[in-house]
Amino acid sequence: MEPPMDVLHGPFAVIRKHRKAFLTLNVAFYGLFAVSMAITMLLPEIQAYLKTGIDEAYLRPGVLKTVADAYGSQNLPKAMGMTFIINLLVAFVMTTLPSLIIPFIGILATLHRGILWGIMFAPLGAHKAMLIPHSITLLIEGQAYVLAAFGAYVHGRTFLRISEYRVSTRWEAWKAGLVPLANIYCLVIFALAVAAIYEVLEAIYIIPRII
């Protein structure tokens, strides 16, 4: 079994190598989040329109309702596990998988999420104090999605710059890009695990004391 620092060396080495891209994606994601939140504060009907559809999704039979029921029953392991799995699937299916087919395309999904979050979590209405504890969830989970987008960038860059990575074909470059992508996913998984644990504890124990 590798020591924890050895496991983390690979991901952080990738981040150091592509530092500018990593910082740019962070600025873009959280910047769009802040701008869309500010716009929603000026036009609160945007949030009302979006939340109607989301609330209905949690009431219909399906995965989201199952997660909501786990929160409601205070089943901590189930709620944490389902939150983690769903968020990991979202990161992979919405950001990583499309980018493995068309380089960089999944980054748009991550930036779109930043915009949606700004609308959804703008501090409006009677329960706006909820944003105080929930901001920690948004920060950690948001960083996981930024990391997934960063992994998509690194893989796409490897695929397109075959001479820089000393491979002779695009297929070899595509496969070579999976290595740094897998390294980054170590951090994605860790961040989503921490976010899931905190989010469940926050929803069950902290927010009810606020609202």
Give 89-124 pLDDT, tens digit per residue. 999 999 999 999 999 999 999 999 999 999 999 999
Per-residue pLDDT tens digits for 167-196: 889 999 999 999 999 999 999 999 999 999
Measured CA to CA, the distance from residue 206 to residue 119 in angstroms comes to 23
Q: What's phi and psi for 121, nearest 5 deg?
A: -105, 15
In DSSP notation, 11-51 reads: HHHHHHHTHHHHHHHHHHHHHHHHHHHHHHHH-THHHHHHH
The domain locations on the chain are: 11-209
End-to-end Cα distance, the chain: 45
Q: What is the pTM of this model?
A: 0.91
Task: Look at 123 and 57; give whichever has higher pLDDT.
Answer: 123
What mean pLDDT do residues 144-149 have? 99
pLDDT score at 129: 86
The residue length of the chain stands at 211
- Please state the separation of Cα 165 from the chain's center in Å: 28
What mean pLDDT do residues 68-92 have? 94
